[in-house]
Amino acid sequence: MCMQKTSTENLSINYSEYIDKQGNLIEDNKLFKLFIEQGPTAIAIVNRQMRYLFANQQWLTIHNIDKDNIVGISHYELFPEHSLNLTRIYQECLLGSRKTYQEYICNQQRNTCLKWNFSPWYEANQTIGGIIIHAFNQEKIIEPFFDLSVDMLCCITTDGYFKDINLAFQEILGYCETELIQKPMLSFIHPEDRTATLESIETLSRGLVTTIQFENRCRCQNDSYKWLQWKVDVVGKRKLLYAVVTDITKSRQLSDQLSWQTQHDVLTGIYNRYGFEQEVSKAISLAQKNSQHHVFCYLDIDRFKVINDICGHLAGDELLRQVTNILQQRLRSNDILARIGNDEFGILLKQCSLKQAENIAQTLSNLIHEFRFTWENKSFSVGVSIGIIAIEQNNSNFSDILNAGDTACHAAKQKNSNRIQVYRLDDQELIKQRGERHWISRINLALEEDRFRLYCQKISPLQDKFGIEHYEILLRLLDEEGKLVTPTDFIPAAERYNLMPAIDRWVIKTFFTIYQRDCQNKCHAKCRAIYTINLSGASINDHSFFDFLKEQLLKYQIVPEKICFEITETAAIANLATAAKFINELKELGCSFALDDFGSGMSSLAYLKNLPVDYLKIDGNFVKNIVNDPIDRATVECFNRIGQVMNIRTIAEFVENEDIISQLKELGVDYAQGYGISEPCPLEFS
């Protein structure tokens, strides 16, 4: 076909050099004469009045013309039925356009389908002398170049039967010609693709379009399937379908592989978060349209991090694969399992009631708890926490479903047994946790944008022997609208979702920076004071945190004796050995330690002797009522006496008026902190 296009372009030249006025080829141009007479293309040359100057034998044969000499005959006389359509084309060619015009024409005498291309030709003076027409048979398309084409070519009847096929078509699919000719095309198409293919063929047959492109899978002779791309044109009045077919199997396989990788987790082979989101979104849509009931389960594998840290990432990967196999074995065939986080899985239970989902979740929980993971002769028990939420008409999107499931899963983690939690809108604990989870992104963004602020509150000595003032460093958050947020709003969420170590590090670096800049080697009262910095239990349990503190003290040249670190009694008791070790290490550097909220726990006195602290901060719930409640007064007196015996100084919290201060002095308490002493204020050294 490229040969024909090239021929047309080459023939749009000065033909007066090759053809005399009688239509004879000039003998001096033997190469041109050979091409015109022996070439594969049917060629005719007409003048401006559309009368023939020349026509080769191929032209006469393809049009079934018996005239020995058609020079001088009008083209309109030979093809009167097409004169209206051709007049426009001739007129445009004679205006000098070099564009090739095409029209499909059916020769009624031989019932063949021809394609004509028209181009102007030029006289020696560059004026247009007429038109050159070349034609080739489109219906009988098995020509030499057709069978030599590397493309798969075929002709299909309007009722869907193969009429002609080329060698490439036979070789690529593995058939011989007799296995395809006069056979229905659809019988070779994959059953899943037949409907779409039939619709495309019918669209062409009904004349709605003249060309169409589609893809399907075609069965090969060995019963395998290849992906084919079809470009089909309608040819002639008989409307044969001429198709150029391309084998796209490799590109489709690559595309399918990339699509699979986009939606699946490479490690486990199950859906990833993106693919799972598509499936859950479909379920939400079905629930809204058809009132279908589906259930989403959020699973968090317990102790995964421990195994990963002890045995390495290879062990962690193998654990995830084995857990995946366990879950897959007990799910129904239409359920969908996905890995949506590092050690987190999602399950979509289709057409499932909430009660049935709870039973399935309990079965999965039991299987995981019974499972023992073995790695290099070490055996580990593994648990799972599961949050469950129904997908119903009122669900809006995947994000809401995921957040609700995550919230329920975190609530399940807090349980000691039966670690399954169903999300319900009226569950107050879940409402609280969901509210806290909104703080995760806000806290992280505040850290990135440096929107935390340091405040301080004075701690005054009550006894003459203690002249040095103390200040507790407090934290505030500047929200997105520039308003201050107190710690009671965001600290619970930060503690629950392990954000406190990052906050503690920010506080230490920021305070040390300000202290070094504004207070180092200065003599005013605030610079001589001792500053108390709160630490979370998570930071104390972080093995790298102690090294961080040493590095910061050295970097900013902070005198350790000026710094007192404070931890809550609850945090200390939660991991007593670690807390005691941490306190001793910092005391060796020269820092001091305070135990906050002393007395809030039932075992305070038992644990105190194992913690080498320097200060006891007596829980303010006892302090604020000592004037009117003799029991609270006696309790504060007891705690203070214990501190004196253990050589630990005492600090009373929630000191709000002079009456309380007077009582504390009488009891011998060493320091007081509260609004009766000083309100919190921005940290400044002046």
| Residue 650 confidence (pLDDT) | 94
| Residue 12 confidence (pLDDT) | 37
**Confidence class for position 3, pLDDT limits 50, 70, 90:** very low
Quickly count: other Cβ atoms within 10 Å of residue 195's Cβ. 11
DSSP string, 341-409: SSSEEEEEETT--HHHHHHHHHHHHHHHHH-EEEETTEEEE-EEEEEEEEE-TT---HHHHHHHHHHHH
Alpha-carbon distance of 70 to 53, in angstroms, equals 8
R_g of the chain computed on alpha carbons? 44
| Residue 480 confidence (pLDDT) | 85
Closest CA to 676 of 656, 660, 662: 656
CA distances to 93, 133, 302, 532 from 130, in Å: 8, 10, 87, 102
Average pLDDT, the chain: 82
Which two structure tokens, joined as six digits, stand for 36? 């015109």
Q: What sign does the CA torsion over 353, 354, 359, 360 have? A: positive
Alpha-carbon distance of 653 to 460, in angstroms, equals 11
- Amino acid present at 330: R
Q: Is residue 74 predicted with pLDDT exceeding 80?
A: yes
| Domain definitions of the chain by residue range | 2-137, 144-252, 264-425, 449-682
Which two structure tokens, joined as six digits, stand for 12? 């749009």
Residue position matching structure tokens 């097409």: 82
Q: Is residue 569 predicted with pLDDT exceeding 90?
A: no
Residue 637: DSSP 8-state = H
> CB neighbours of 257 closer than 8 A, spacing ≥ 6?
none
Q: Is residue 26 predicted with pLDDT exceeding 70?
A: no
| Residue 257 confidence (pLDDT) | 80
Helix (H/G/I), strand (E/B), else coil: 190:
coil
Alpha-carbon distance of 386 to 409, in angstroms, equals 5
Dihedral, CA of residue 480, residue 481, residue 487 and residue 489, to nearest 10 = -90
| Residue 655 confidence (pLDDT) | 95
Q: Give the pLDDT mean for 33-45.
A: 72
Q: Give the pLDDT mean for 288-317.
A: 88
Phi, psi of 45 (to 5 degrees): -125, 130
Percentage of residues in the chain having pLDDT higher than 70: 83
Q: Which residue has the higher pLDDT, 58 or 352?
A: 352
| Residue 618 confidence (pLDDT) | 92
Percentage of residues in the chain having pLDDT higher than 90: 38
Q: Give the pLDDT mean for 597-604.
A: 64
pLDDT in tens, 384-393: 999 999 987 7
Helix (H/G/I), strand (E/B), else coil: 283:
helix
| Residue 62 confidence (pLDDT) | 75
DSSP string, 144-180: HHHHH-SSEEEEE-TTSBEEEE-HHHHHHHT--GGGT
Q: What class is the 2-137 domain?
A: alpha beta
**Which of 126-130, 363-367, 600-604 is the least confident region?**
600-604
Alpha-carbon distance of 598 to 601, in angstroms, equals 7
Q: What angle do CA 104, 107, 112 make, to 5 degrees?
A: 85
| Residue 609 confidence (pLDDT) | 77
Residue 577 half-sphere exposure, CB side, CA atoms within 13 Å?
Answer: 0
DSSP string, 416-479: SSS-EEE--TT-HHHHHHHHHHHHHHHHHHHHHTT-EEEEEEEEEE-STT----EEEEEEEEE-
Please tell me if the domain spanning 2-137 has the same topology as the one spanning 264-425.
no
Whether 130 and 46 have beta carbons less than 8 Å apart is answered as: yes
Q: Give the pLDDT mean for 409-430.
A: 74
Alpha-carbon distance of 384 to 513, in angstroms, equals 43
Q: Is residue 332 predicted with pLDDT exceeding 80?
A: yes
**C-alpha 495: how far from its chain's center?**
29
Q: Give the pLDDT mean for 250-264.
A: 83
Alpha-carbon distance of 142 to 148, in angstroms, equals 10
Superfamily of domain 144-252: PAS domain (3.30.450.20)
Alpha-carbon distance of 590 to 320, in angstroms, equals 46
Q: What sign does the CA torsion over 206, 212, 216, 218 have? A: positive
Alpha-carbon distance of 329 to 119, in angstroms, equals 71
- φ/ψ region of 23 (left if φ > 0, alpha if ψ in -120 to 50, else beta) reads left
**Which CATH number, 3.10.20.310, 3.10.180.10, 3.20.20.450, 3.40.50.300, labels domain 449-682?**
3.20.20.450
Alpha-carbon distance of 245 to 232, in angstroms, equals 8
Alpha-carbon distance of 530 to 563, in angstroms, equals 6
**Confidence class for position 236, pLDDT limits 50, 70, 90:** low
Quickly count: other Cβ atoms within 10 Å of residue 177's Cβ. 14
Q: Is residue 313 predicted with pLDDT exceeding 80?
A: yes
Helix (H/G/I), strand (E/B), else coil: 653:
coil
667 sits in which H/E element: helix 658-667
**Confidence class for position 108, pLDDT limits 50, 70, 90:** very low
| Residue 106 confidence (pLDDT) | 43
Q: Which residue has the higher pLDDT, 441 or 520?
A: 441
- Amino acid present at 559: V
Q: Which residue has the higher pLDDT, 415 or 640?
A: 640
Residue position matching structure tokens 């309990």: 362
CA distances to 47, 365, 457, 517 from 470, in Å: 111, 52, 8, 20
| Residue 667 confidence (pLDDT) | 94
**Confidence class for position 107, pLDDT limits 50, 70, 90:** very low
| Topology of the domain comprising 264-425 | Alpha-Beta Plaits (3.30.70)
| Residue 675 confidence (pLDDT) | 94
Whether 94 and 128 have beta carbons less than 8 Å apart is answered as: yes
Q: Give the pLDDT mean for 156-176.
A: 87
> CB neighbours of 540 closer than 8 A, spacing ≥ 6?
567, 571, 572, 575, 578, 579, 582
The strand pair at 615-618 and 563-568 is best described as unpaired
Q: Is residue 54 predicted with pLDDT exceeding 60?
A: yes
Q: Give the pLDDT mean for 56-84.
A: 78
Q: Give the pLDDT mean for 257-285.
A: 88
CA distances to 170, 549, 554, 590 from 586, in Å: 83, 9, 13, 7
548 sits in which H/E element: helix 545-555
Q: Give the pLDDT mean for 255-269.
A: 85
Q: Is residue 565 predicted with pLDDT exceeding 90?
A: yes
| Residue 488 confidence (pLDDT) | 86
Q: Is residue 142 predicted with pLDDT exceeding 50?
A: no
**Confidence class for position 425, pLDDT limits 50, 70, 90:** low
Burial of 429 (0-12, 13-18, 19+ CB in 10 A): exposed
**Which of 112-126, 526-540, 637-651 is the least confident region?**
112-126
**Which of 230-234, 348-352, 561-565, 631-635 is the least confident region?**
230-234
- φ/ψ region of 573 (left if φ > 0, alpha if ψ in -120 to 50, else beta) reads alpha
Residue position matching structure tokens 């395998």: 224
**Confidence class for position 105, pLDDT limits 50, 70, 90:** very low
pLDDT in tens, 458-516: 999 998 777 788 999 999 999 888 889 988 888 888 887 889 999 999 999 999 999 98
Q: Is residue 69 predicted with pLDDT exceeding 90?
A: no
Q: Give the pLDDT mean for 420-425.
A: 82
| Residue 8 confidence (pLDDT) | 33
Helix (H/G/I), strand (E/B), else coil: 39:
coil
**Confidence class for position 84, pLDDT limits 50, 70, 90:** low
